[in-house]
Structure 1
Amino acid sequence: MEAVGNFNALPFEGGITDLDLYQWEGFWYLPPHLEAAKTIKSHFEARDDDVILASHVKTGTHWLKALCFCIMQRQTGANDVEEEDPLVKITPALCIRTLEVQVYTPNHSPNLSGMSSPRLFHTHLPCSALLDSIKNCKCKIVYITRNPKDTLVSMWHFLNTRRTPEQGPYPFERAFEGFCNGVCPYGSFFDHVLEYWMESSKMAHKILFLKYEDLRSDPKRQLKRLASFLGKPFVEEEEIDKLVWRCSLERLKNLEVNKNGVEPSTGFPNSAFLRLGVVGDWKNNFTSEMKECLDQITLMKFQGSGLEL
């Protein structure tokens, strides 16, 4: 199927939950994010001390934003008094903005030179779309991923929040098919993960690869890795304990700022960004045949890479 309008030269599909997605350089995008991705690739200039968080959709982005935000400002006057905690007043989505959604979509030529260093950004862009902008500097990338089955279920629930009661939930079977075929926002989950994994294996000093499940099962150990990578190592164990509590999914979900209101750039309710956060929720939606199918795809896609999810 061919696209119409401004993207008539690009392949077009009605992807997961009937989103209009256009393919560029092997990955699928919503129209405004595609325009932003092209601009970022050609014009974004990273600084040596930039920190860029990266992820596919619904793999722990919101949580990673909160963690990195708190780590980076921890040693610059952060206050432990809850009333003065920025996370009480600002959602993680606004603490660290997503380049192609909150920075370059509203303004195709944003002036980022006035931002104080270190700058913190996030992106869902695949590694290949980002490398030209960052390869000649010393900026650091933190990538987070998740079991593909839980990723799909989380993405399905998230996108359903924009559907009307009359529409009802998008059929999960069709969402499953689109995900398996790689036709979803930002393209194939497997290709996206594999690009960052392979680059992290070559540039461990530049790209830190995290797994959502590891953060859930052993947050203190993973936060030590993350803080050291960011050049903000913990000095005392008490610091880690405070940050684990402060950024726990349970606490974040129950903050009023994350329970009410709407994220202005996307129109999604703030409550949609933090739903359950559990490992293994896919079991409530998958048939045994679906599990077998996606497990086989995962095995095939990552074969020989050394990556297991």
Structure 2
Amino acid sequence: MEYSSFPFSFSSLLNKLPKEKWCRTDLSNWESFWYTSSHLIAAMALKLSLEVQIFKENPNPDLSYMPSPRLFQTHVPYPMLPQSVKNSACKIVIKRPEKILFLRYEDMMEDPKTQLRRLACFLGRPFEKEEEVDKVLWRCSLERLKNMEVNQHGVDPRLGFENKFYFRRGIVGDWKNNMTDKIKEKLDHMLLP
């Protein structure tokens, strides 16, 4: 699909969205979510089509007659959900939580062995020997990776910037030294419920 196949207002909206270079294409930010151009066009068209279908028959649907609990199923990423859903008291449930593992950087820094074991079990590959855990931790250590020749002097062939920029200090809370209060507020607004 190309921009030209959509109404002018749709095309002009696409051109006004914030963009970032990613690999060999641009990403556009729409409703707090980053899309490649082909995915963005599809998401916008789908949302427009879905809204038209929903409100075509009944512009003010009364769902109170439906028995509780009323369920709504979607694959839409959380940032794309309508504000009415996000601001409501509805409960958002992940269909198969056993397929999702949450790891916090702070927890990994505090107790890396325990977190690595959790990850290995989640992937269905638990460690058999303690030495394996130590070996993986050594291979993945920030200091070791940061000091590798390729990461000190190499260049990412896809993005064209030096590999050393992938590595920061690796200290919990170091983001405070790199983000302004305005950026922090913006991230909190985007990520916190």
Match of 2:119 in 1: 226
**Secondary structure, in 3 states, of the residue corresponding to 2:114?**
helix
Give the Cα separation in 1 of the matches to 2:178 and 2:40.
Answer: 36
Q: Does 1:34 align with 2:37?
A: yes
Following TM superposition, where does structure 1 have runs of at least 4 consecutive aligned residues deviating by more than 6 angstroms?
none
* Aligned residue among 117, 131, 135 for 1:238: 131
CA shift in 2, pair 1:294/1:286, >3 Å: closer
Q: Which residue in 1 is equivalent to 2:140?
A: 247
Q: Hey, what's the Cα distance between the residues in 1 that align with 2:30 and 2:186?
A: 26
Distance in 1 between residues matched to 2:18 and 2:29, nearest whole Å: 11
Match of 2:153 in 1: 260
Say if 1:253 and 1:259, in contact at 8 Å, map to a contact too: yes
- Indicate the percent of aligned positions where both proteins have the same amino acid: 48
**TM-score calculated relative to the size of structure 2:** 0.54
TM superposition shift of 1:15: 5.7
Distance in 1 of aligned mates of 2:140 and 2:133: 11
Which residue in 1 is equivalent to 2:83?
A: none
Task: Return closer, same or farther for 1:301/1:239 CA change in 2, 3 Å cut-off.
Answer: closer
The residue type equivalent to 2:105 in the other structure is Y
CA contact (8 A) 1:11 1:23 kept: no
Match of 2:57 in 1: none
Q: Corresponding residue for 2:173?
A: 280
Query: Which amino acid in 1 is paired with 2:173?
Result: G
Give the C-alpha shift of residue 228 in structure 1. Answer: 0.6
Does the 8 A contact of 1:262 with 1:268 survive in 2? yes
Q: Shift of the alpha carbon at 1:8?
A: 4.4
Compute the TM-score of the two structures, normalised by the length of structure 1: 0.36
1:235 match: secondary structure = coil
How many angstroms apart in 1 are the aligned matches of 2:156 and 2:4?
A: 28
Correspondence 1:1-309 to 2 at 5 A = 8=12, 10=14, 12-14=16-18, 22-24=28-30, 27-29=33-35, 33-35=36-38, 37=39, 128=76, 201-285=94-178, 290=181, 294=184, 298=188, 302-303=192-193
Aligned residues: 138
Deviations 1:30-68 (A, max 9, x none): xxx434x569x9xxxxxxxxxxxxxxxxxxxxxxxxxxx
Q: State the secondary structure of the residue aligned to 1:208.
A: coil
Aligned mates of 1:38, 1:297 — CA distance in 2? 21
Gapped regions of structure 2 (runs ≥ 5): 6-10, 44-74, 80-91
User: Aligned with 2:102: secondary structure?
Assistant: strand
User: d(CA) in 2 for partners of 1:295 and 1:23?
Assistant: 18
Report the alpha carbon displacement of residue 297 of structure 1 after superposing the two structures with TM: 6.7
**Greater RCO (CA < 8 Å, at least 6 residues apart):** 1
Contact 1:12–1:22 at 8 Å: present in 2 too? no
- TM superposition shift of 1:210: 1.5
Distance of aligned partners of 1:285 and 1:227 in 2 relative to their CA distance in 1, 3 Å threshold: closer
SS at the partner of 2:97?
Answer: coil
Question: Which letter maps to 2:14?
Answer: L
Distance 1:256 1:5 in 2: 47
Contact 2:18–2:29 (CA under 8 A) maintained in structure 1: no
C-alpha separation between the residues in 2 aligned to 1:215 and 1:5? 48
Partner amino acid for 1:27? F
Which structure would you say has the larger Rg? 2
Residue identity matched to 2:174: D
Query: Against the structure 1 CA distance between its residues 5 and 23, is the aligned structure 2 distance closer, same or farther, given a 3 Å change threshold?
Result: farther
Q: Distance in 2 between matches of 1:26 and 1:251?
A: 35
Counterpart of 2:103 in structure 1: which amino acid? Answer: L
Give the 3 Å change call, closer, same or farther, for CA 299–214 of structure 1 in structure 2: farther
The residue identity in structure 2 corresponding to 1:34 is S
